[in-house]
Structure 1
C-alpha cells in the first residue's frame, strides 16, 4: 500500500485509513479486532477514532467505546509500534462530554489523558481537534454559515493558548503530531501562522469530508494543502455508503447506516440519487466496482494523505481494501469530472 507523508512530521501514513466510529455499536469488539488484524495484513496500519465515538447512535452510555476497542486490541496484541493511532478532542456540543465545553487549554490535558487511558497507550500519534469552537461550514452548514458572528481576537487568543497546551503534551511525549478536522482555509492558515510564530506544533493534516459527492475541498483548501504540506484525511469517501449504490431505488438494507441514521445527516436529498446514478453508470462503463472507483479516485487528488473509510462488517473491509489495486484511466477520470459538473454539491 502506498505511503504518504503526514505533513512535515516525518510520519508516513497509508493511502487508506481504517475509521472506527462504529466500533462499540454496530461493530462489536471481536469484529473490530478482526478488522484491525486484516487491515495490518494488507499494509493498512492507520486507525482513526475519537473520544466521542461510537456513532449510530451517539450516547453517553457508549461514549469512548471505539477508543476502548482499539485499546483492548493494543493490550491484547502488544503491537503498539505497528500502528499509527489518530484520535480527536470533541469540542463543544455534547452534554455527556465535559458538559458541552469547547476546546481549551484547560480541557486538552483532561481529554488527552482520557483518550490515553481508553486506548491503553502512553502516546497518540495524531491528535486532532474535531471541529473549531468558532463554528464550521461542514456537515451541511455551508448553506447558512455566517462568519460575521465570530470574534477574531478571541479566536486567535484561543488558538495561541491551545497550541501552547498541545506543545506541553508534545513535550511530555503524549502526542506526536497535531491535526485539524472540519476546518476552513482561513482557520488552517491561522493555525499555521501561529505555530510558525513559535506558539506550538505545526498542523499536519485536515480531516474534512471529501468524496465524489462532496468536493468543497477542491477550492481554497486544495491549494493550501499542497503549498503548506497539510494533507487531507478524507472522511466519508464513500459518502456514508451512498456511492456504493446500496440505497438506490429507495433501498434501506438491514444494518446499514441509513437504517439507523435517518437522512444520513442531511446527505439524502432529491438531487443525490441522480448523481449517484451518474457515478454508477461510469463504473459500469469502465468495468469498475463503485467502491473501488470512489476510493481509487481519492488517491488521484494531489492533496490526499489518506482516505478514511469505515466498515460495519468485516466483509465490507475486505472489499474496500481491493481498491488499492485499481488505477483509473484518463477516460474514467474525465467522465468523473464531467459527472461532477452535471451534479455539483448535491447535499
Structure 2
C-alpha cells in the first residue's frame, strides 16, 4: 500500500480508501465487517462513510452504515489503526436526519450531526468530518453548468466554519473537509480559515474517473497549490468502467439493475468511450477496472481513491490497483480517447 499526507495534517492516509455506501442496503453487517478486516489486512487505513449512508437514502436505513462500522470498531478494539471519515448532509428536504426538521449547515445542526455519528460509530472522535454538499445552490454532484440563484436562503460559509471550529476545539473532530464542492467554494473556505484562524479544509471529495474529469478544470490546481487534495469518489463511474454493462448487459444484483436513479454514466457516449477504454486495457493485458483505478491513483492532485465493492473478489481486485503503474504509451492512449468526448456525462 502507498500513503499520502492528508492536507497539511500529520495523518498519512492510504491511497486506497474503503468506501462504504452499500453497507446496509446491498451488503449485510457481516459482509461489512468482512470487508473492513480484509482492507485493513491489505494496508488500507482510511475508511469513508456518511450519516446518510447507505445509498439510496431512506429514512429506515439512514445511519445504518455508520452503525455497522461502530459494531466492528467495538468488536475489534482497533480504533487507533484507522483514519475514519464521515460526512454531514447538506441542505435537504429530507427531514429524517434532523428530527422532522430540514437539515442545514447551521451550527446546531452540525453539532447534533456529529454527536449522532459518534454514537453510531461508537467512538469519541472523527478524524475527518466533511460537508457532504454545499448549503448554497451550485453545480455539485458532478453537474457541469453553473446556474446562479439570486437572494437564496443559505447558511453563510463563515457560520458553518465557525461551528466546525468549535467542534475541533471540543475534540470531537480532528480535521475538516469538503465534498461535492466547487473551486470558488473551496477557496472561500480556505480564505475564511486563514482570515479568522479557523480550521483549514484538508480535502475535497468529488467525483473523478476516466468518464468524469471535470475536477481537472479548476479544482486540480487548488488541490495542488493549497494542499487540499481530492478524495476521488465514483472512480469506476458506478461500475461502468469495468465494462460489465457493455452491449446492453445488466448483471443481476449490480447497482444499475437495482437502482434506476443511477443513470449518469449510462449515456450513449459514456458506453462508447468505455468500450474504447476496455479495449485499451485488454490490449495491454490489464483488467479494465484496475486500469481505470490506476489512472486515478497516480494523479498528482489525488490524496486518496475511494473504492467500493459488494464482494471480496471485487474488493481485492480494486485494492490491487495500487500495484499497477501505467506506461507512458497507455497514458497517451487514454488522453486520445478522452479528447474524443471530454465530458460524455453532463
Query: What band does the TM-score fall into relative to the shorter chain?
Result: over 0.9
Match for residue 198 of structure 1 among 187, 196, 199: 196
> What is residue 293 of structure 1 aligned with on the other side?
291
Structure 2 SS opposite 1:264: coil
Partner of 1:185: 183
Shift of 1:232: 0.1
The alignment partner of 2:211 has SS state of coil
Match of residue 10 from structure 1: 10
Structure 1 counterpart SS, 2:128: strand
Deviation by residue 1:22-75 (Cα, 9 ceiling, x = unmatched)? 1111010001001011101110011100000001x3210011000000000000
- Distance, in Å, in 2 between the alignment partners of 1:58 and 1:4 is 31
| TM-score relative to the length of structure 1 | 0.95
Structure 2 residue aligned with 1:108:
110
Shift of 1:147: 2.4
Q: How does 1:1-347 map onto structure 2 within 5 Å?
A: 1-55=1-55, 57-93=56-92, 94-98=94-98, 99-143=101-145, 145-149=146-150, 158-262=156-260, 264-347=262-345
Gaps of 5+ in 2: none
8 A contact 2:256–2:263 mirrored in 1: no
- Secondary structure of the residue aligned to 1:342 is coil
Moved more, 268-277 or 174-183: 268-277
* Contact residue 3 and residue 15 of structure 1 kept, 8 A: yes
Contact 2:89 2:103 in 1 (8 A): no
Distance 1:147 1:8 in 2: 32
Length, aligned pairs only: 342
- Tell me, yes or no, if the aligned pair for 2:142 and 2:180 is still in contact at 8 Å: no
Superposition TM-score, scaled by structure 2 size = 0.96
CA distance in 1, matches of 2:151, 2:326: 42
Deviation at 1:150, TM superposition (A): 5.9
Checking the alignment, whether the CA contact within 8 Å between 1:91 and 1:131 is kept in structure 2 is yes
For residues 64-110 of structure 1, what are the alpha-carbon distances to aligned partners after superposition, in whole Å with 9 as ceiling and x for unaligned?
00000000000000000001110000112223222332211111110
| Structure 1 stretches lacking a partner, 5+ long | none
* CA displacement at 1:292 relative to structure 2: 1.1
| SS at structure 2 position matched to 1:103 | coil
Quote how far apart the aligned CAs of 1:287 are: 1.2
Q: Which has the higher helix share?
A: 1
Cα distance between partner residues in 2 of 1:76 and 1:345: 45
Query: Please, what is the CA RMSD of the aligned residues?
Result: 1.4
